[in-house]
Amino acid sequence: MIASKHIQNYFENMNKSTRQLSKLSNEAKKTGVDPQLESDIPIAASVAERVEAIMGSISPNIIGKGIPDRITELEKEYGFGDWRVALKLAEEISLERFCKFEDKISAINIGIRTGFAYITQGTVSAPLEGLIDIKLKNRKDGKKYLSMYFAGPIRGGGATASAVTVVITDYIRKVHNIEKYDPTDEEIKRFYTEVTDYYDRVERKQYKPTEEEMKFIISNLSVELNGDPTSRLTVSNFKGLDRVETDRIRGGMALLLTDCIPLKGAKVWKKLKEWGSDFNLEDWKWIEEFIELKKKIHSGQEIKSNTTKLRPNYSYISEIVAGRPIFTHPLKKGGFRLRYGRSRLTGHGSWAISPITMQICKDYLAIGTQLRVERPGKSTSLTSCDSIEGPIVKLKSGEVIKPKSEEEAKLISPDIEEILFLGDILISHGEFLENNHFLVPPGFCPEWWFNILKSKINNKNQFISENKLHESFFDTFLPPKISRELSIELSEKYKIPLHPELTFYWGELSKNQLITLAKYLYKGSTEPSLKRILELIGAEHKLINNKIEISPITLSNLKLNLSEEIINSNLNESETTLEFLNKHSKYIVEDLWGTAIGARMGRPEKAKMRDLKGSPNFLFPVGIEGGRMNNFIDVIKKGFVISDFPIINCEDCKQQTIYRKCEHCGSYNTKQRYIDPKTKIKYDEPPKDLRVRAFERRKYEISKLYKKTIENWNDEIPSLIKGVKNTKNKYRYAEHPLKGILRSKFSLRVNKDGTVRYDGTELGITHFKPKEIGLTVSKVKKLGYSFDWKGNEITSDEQLIEIFPQDIIIPDSDILGSEAASKVLQRVANFVDEELTRLYNKPAYYNVATKDDLIGQMVIGLAPHTSAGIAGRIIGFSKISALLAHPYWHAAQRRDLDGEETSIMLMLDAFLNFSRDFLPDQRGSRSMD
């Protein structure tokens, strides 16, 4: 790995801590209280290892056969993340170069899905749950073709990667000399009908192909796109076809034919054009023809989307949700004003507004709030930035004011009658690039003014000494504060525009309104419309005894912009207000407005412990005996519970048990058995061709287990310990009752996989000051930080430091109360410690007494619909209700920072308590999220 020494040390330490915790939990789990005898979370230090781990979970035979090494080799040849790595990998696995498979199609199946896992970096569960099978089916001439089975979670794979997977399948087909799919006319019509039904009745996608396009795609694809039904709805026509297994709508397949192949085909072909012939893939050239066809059919829309003229975009409003306010309409001046730039909290999808704007919008806008926006992109998560423009408001008294601080804004906010200007919204230009949106003009701003000035100055040192400025005057991005007089002088001398602080939102007025204002300024004549004119341009004033009062400075600024001669000048139809004003002004006046960005509230910021329905403390079935509250204590009082339990027999004491380690005699010599639910016959091994279950519904006497559980307890037993009505996993495994007692004691709720999750909005941070996150100089150094962002040794807690890529800052706000991450994770640490000592016979590990003890502890971050957790390290606390970390940490979870959420677990809690076997036995829930 190429990285500087201190980053390499950092990664080494992260790796070491992770492996140490994994080892500790493996030893603890030997006691046998869980479904597995060791931790169910494999550790991967690279994408290559992740690919092996994720595919190993469905095909254990590939583990340890050299796949990660081979990936590394291929990466050296083709480059990291290159699709050719996936193609070669799929080929070699399908040819059984690493290990044998049951049959050829199994090898092909795992090969293709491993290729898919590689191009999604081994992070998402789509290769397991989105592409669920590859089968050989019969052509009309009796030969075989390949059929790909997609399911709903394919959406987590991403449109491009999913499209590439079809290319991989075609390649493997050629390697194995398998014939092409031979669709009949009826089957093609079925595809069109089903995709149209999906689009119209299930979910509107970005693209809706016509029948002609569909026919073209299907006849050119050499494999069949197939899948599981994802909807209760059946297709409206072409039911009962021989080779189509279901009449219901297959959402995964529909996704491939709307958002994936039609929309990403061009991107795929661009690469294949370069090297496709090396892989016998040049016949994908049909995509070029398809793009032509698409253009011809959708030409009307194409022209519209190619235009660079700025038009209002209403789509963010059209999907409005009740209770989510609209802040500004599309392109509506007075709303958020575009400002280009980035702060240490923005980027990767996240933007910023002034903290003063947040204050006047009361509870509706906070750090972490998701906005649905007009452009570029669809949404963002908000942070704050205090060096951009705040709002201008009108009070009930008629006064127009630009609050200078959050305190002032708070003070006046009950008296606000109208928000005249919401303030700036800070967006980095990369957001436009990323979203394929042309750059739009920003309003005139100080940094722009400063750049104009810089371009006019030949001798900077001379300029500095002439004007008695600080020697670092030109070193900053934003201009240092200078006096109003100097600013005016510079505009005059160098012919540069007036500084934005001296100008107004002139574009809001008509030319006649300009004249009305000039008459007031120079002749003292007032008109009823004058007040509104001042409001529209954002000029501060008061209303005293119904008379407008403007401060001498504002008055003088107005006169700088607006000359007296304008009063008697001729109006020219073709001139804009600003052109008209400039023609008669001594100074250059720039447009302050630029572009307004429409926005409405998406969802509020989030930071809380995850709650399953019914808020269970542990995964144990309490049936109807648990009563309305699903209380385990009620089951204890009754002495039994009737529910589904695994069929396990103890070979030693010959009794039936519910755990793999016999709860009666403590033996691990137990045997899982199976039952045919129809005949009730039990089997030692699941017979082939018979659908059997690993569990049965029975009455379970709980007293003995409970007595054993609380043998050494000596504490008060909580009166409410919530279980689940039924467990839903494949074996109906249940957690040990002690876990329930302990989680109840520490007010913790369990997630469906046995862990405690903390959910939070994702926010990025690239730099921090130790003081801001509760660190001292010595603590920050202990965490491995030595230098600030300029390379100076850290000696003060006010120095700005670049954050390490896997370090995170967790919520610790009073508003969150006991739900603050700092409090929840403390309780999790206490829970794990008691679990270690009472259940696993190990010494306590965390020994956390205060929140500061959490600093340096490892967590696992896991975003929804992904299956690879990313290790993280807690380094501090914030008052923000969101999980703050380096954008890389979020990116590793395949997330942007546009208002989505992720979750964290304390690492040892995950290693000890997570089990895949607790997860409900249904597609889409077999991954960790």
Contacts with Zn ion, residue ranges (CB under 5 A): 650, 652-653, 662, 664-665, 667
How far apart are CB 32 and Zn ion at their closest, in Å? 12
Q: How far is it, in rounded angstroms, from Cα 251 to Cα 248? A: 9
Q: Of the two residues 555 and 665, which places its CB atom closer to Zn ion in the complex?
A: 665
CB half-sphere exposure, 584, CA atoms < 13 A: 22
Q: Of the two residues 386 and 651, which places its CB atom closer to Zn ion in the complex?
A: 651
Nearest one of 420, 360, 334, 382 to 601, comparing CA atoms: 382
Q: Of the two residues 616 and 737, which places its CB atom closer to Zn ion in the complex?
A: 737
Q: Of the two residues 239 and 704, which places its CB atom closer to Zn ion in the complex?
A: 704
Q: Of the two residues 182 and 652, which places its CB atom closer to Zn ion in the complex?
A: 652
Q: How far is it, in rounded angstroms, from Cα 187 to Cα 192? A: 9
Task: Identify the bridge partners of residue 145 per DSSP, sorted by sequence position.
Answer: 137
DSSP, collapsed to helix, strand or coil, labels residue 72 as helix
How far apart are CB 154 and Zn ion at their closest, in Å? 45
How far apart are CB 667 and Zn ion at their closest, in Å? 5
Task: Identify the bridge partners of residue 698 per DSSP, sorted by sequence position.
Answer: 643
How far apart are CB 738 and Zn ion at their closest, in Å? 19
Q: Of the two residues 58 and 665, which places its CB atom closer to Zn ion in the complex?
A: 665
Angle between helices 159-175 and 83-94 (to 10 degrees): 40
Nearest one of 796, 822, 797 to 884, comparing CA atoms: 822
Nearest one of 760, 709, 753 to 911, comparing CA atoms: 753
How far apart are CB 654 and Zn ion at their closest, in Å? 7
Q: Of the two residues 428 and 709, which places its CB atom closer to Zn ion in the complex?
A: 709
Q: Of the two residues 387 and 667, which places its CB atom closer to Zn ion in the complex?
A: 667
Q: Of the two residues 650 and 765, which places its CB atom closer to Zn ion in the complex?
A: 650
DSSP state of 625: G
DSSP state of 248: B
How far apart are CB 668 and Zn ion at their closest, in Å? 9
Q: Of the two residues 684 and 798, which places its CB atom closer to Zn ion in the complex?
A: 684
DSSP state of 199: I
> Which residues make Cβ contacts (< 8 Å) with residue 844, sequence separation at least 6?
833, 834, 836, 837
Q: Where are the alpha helices (DSSP H) in 439-551?
A: 446-456, 460-466, 484-494, 511-523, 530-537
How far apart are CB 835 and Zn ion at their closest, in Å? 23
Nearest one of 825, 905, 788, 822 to 344, comparing CA atoms: 788
Q: How far is it, in rounded angstroms, from Cα 51 to Cα 23? A: 22
> Which residues make Cβ contacts (< 8 Å) with residue 599, sequence separation at least 6?
316, 326, 327, 328, 335, 336, 371, 372, 373, 374, 425
Q: Of the two residues 286 and 668, which places its CB atom closer to Zn ion in the complex?
A: 668
CB half-sphere exposure, 373, CA atoms < 13 A: 29
855, 873 contact by CB (below 8 A): no
How far apart are CB 661 and Zn ion at their closest, in Å? 9
How far apart are CB 663 and Zn ion at their closest, in Å? 8
Q: Of the two residues 132 and 658, which places its CB atom closer to Zn ion in the complex?
A: 658
Q: Of the two residues 665 and 816, which places its CB atom closer to Zn ion in the complex?
A: 665
Q: Of the two residues 331 and 653, which places its CB atom closer to Zn ion in the complex?
A: 653
How far apart are CB 705 and Zn ion at their closest, in Å? 12
381, 928 contact by CB (below 8 A): no
Q: How far is it, in rounded angstroms, from Cα 168 to Cα 151? A: 18
How far apart are CB 98 and Zn ion at their closest, in Å? 41
Four-residue CA torsion sign, 757, 760, 763, 765: negative
Measure CA 74 to chain center. Answer: 30
DSSP 756-781: --EEEEEEE-SEE-GGGGT--HHHHH
Four-residue CA torsion sign, 321, 327, 329, 331: negative
238, 207 contact by CB (below 8 A): no
| AA identity, residue 694 | A
How far apart are CB 736 and Zn ion at their closest, in Å? 16
Gap between the terminal Cα atoms of the chain: 29
Q: How far is it, in rounded angstroms, from Cα 564 to Cα 570? A: 13
How far apart are CB 670 and Zn ion at their closest, in Å? 7
Q: How far is it, in rounded angstroms, from Cα 265 to Cα 163? A: 7
How far apart are CB 93 and Zn ion at their closest, in Å? 42
How far apart are CB 841 and Zn ion at their closest, in Å? 19
Q: How big is the chain by its Cα radius of gyration, in Å?
A: 33
Q: Of the two residues 179 and 652, which places its CB atom closer to Zn ion in the complex?
A: 652
